């Protein structure tokens, strides 16, 4: 690949972006063994920048690292999925509540448009597209969160979720309908200037409900104790 663009900056950054992209798009599927030398050769750099990239990905939880053994793409161990979703329900709920007062009519309109696309998408259901739109929708709602730390946590959560192949809704297609309706309800709450607590709770339950749907289908009990 000679598509080198200066814009990316350092080799570490390039390596980070490249590996992350391949994890997210599924080129490196969960369990894939990330060999430093191989990646370095593939990217046309030495192993040192690749090491740094891997470490960063480790910090984000996208890969797991074992000393003297190497890195592998983090699995979608159902337990991991559960933990990630639960964590996301909490931080995303908070982020949405914090950003609600800063959401203007234009944002609402955009979000509603996306949600309409989702509703339309229900006809000939495409889980991948639906999941992508779902992320767009929620991004509009939490992106104005004034606390950058919380926002960062939300982004990390979504990233981990994205490293699941294709789509969340592939596993729980039945949730799609309810999800769209809950989105609209959430929008109305924000429009009406509902309290932070109300919005947080609604956002959290929305995500927790998806998790519960997944769990119910897999087998076990529920974490959604609220």
Partner DNA sequence: GAATATTGCTTCGTATACGATTTCGTACTC
Partner DNA sequence: GAGTACGAAATCGTATACGAAGCAATATTC
CB of 41 to its own copies, least distance (A): 20
Strands 63-66 and 70-73: what pairing? antiparallel
Q: Say which entry of DNA, its own copies, none residue 211 contacts (CB below 5 to 8 A, set by partner kind).
A: none
On the CB side of 117, how many CA atoms lie within 13 Å of its CA?
17
Dist. CA 69–CA 13, nearest whole Å? 24
Footprint of DNA on 61-120 (CB under 7 A): 67-71
Nearer to DNA, 13 or 116 (CB): 13
Interface with its own copies (CB under 8 A), residue from 51, 129, 155, 170: 51
Residue 222 touches its own copies, criterion: CB under 8 A: no
Q: Say which entry of DNA, its own copies, none residue 37 contacts (CB below 5 to 8 A, set by partner kind).
A: DNA
Residue 52 touches its own copies, criterion: CB under 8 A: yes
Stretch that binds DNA, among 31-39, 116-124, 155-163, 166-174 (CB under 7 A): 31-39
DSSP character string of 53-80 = HHHHHHHHTSEEEETTTEEEEPP--HHH
Residue 66 touches its own copies, criterion: CB under 8 A: no
Structure tokens at 56: 């960063």
| SS3 (DSSP) at 162 | helix
């Amino acid at each position: 690949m000679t598509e080198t663009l200066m814009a990316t900056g350092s080799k570490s950054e390039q390596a980070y972006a490249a590996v992350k992209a391949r994890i997210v798009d599924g080129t490196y599927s969960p369990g894939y063994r990330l060999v430093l030398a191989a990646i370095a050769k593939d990217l046309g750099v030495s192993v040192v920048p690749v090491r740094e990239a891997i470490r960063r990905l480790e910090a984000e939880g996208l890969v797991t690292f074992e000393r003297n053994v190497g890195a592998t793409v983090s699995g979608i161990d159902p337990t991991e999925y559960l933990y990630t979703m639960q964590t996301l329900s909490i931080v995303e709920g908070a982020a949405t509540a914090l950003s609600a007062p800063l959401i203007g009519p234009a944002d609402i309109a955009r979000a509603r448009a996306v949600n309409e696309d989702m509703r339309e998408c229900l006809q000939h259901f495409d889980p991948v597209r639906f999941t992508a739109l779902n992320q767009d929708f929620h991004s509009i709602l939490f992106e104005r969160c004034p606390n950058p730390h919380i926002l960062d946590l939300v982004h990390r959560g979504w990233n981990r979720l994205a490293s699941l192949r294709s789509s969340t809704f592939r596993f729980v297609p039945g949730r799609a309908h309810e999800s769209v309706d809950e989105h609209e309800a959430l929008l109305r709450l924000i429009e009406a200037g509902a309290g932070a607590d109300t919005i947080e709770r609604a956002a959290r339950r929305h995500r927790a409900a998806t998790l519960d749907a997944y769990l119910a289908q897999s087998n076990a009990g529920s974490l959604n104790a609220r």
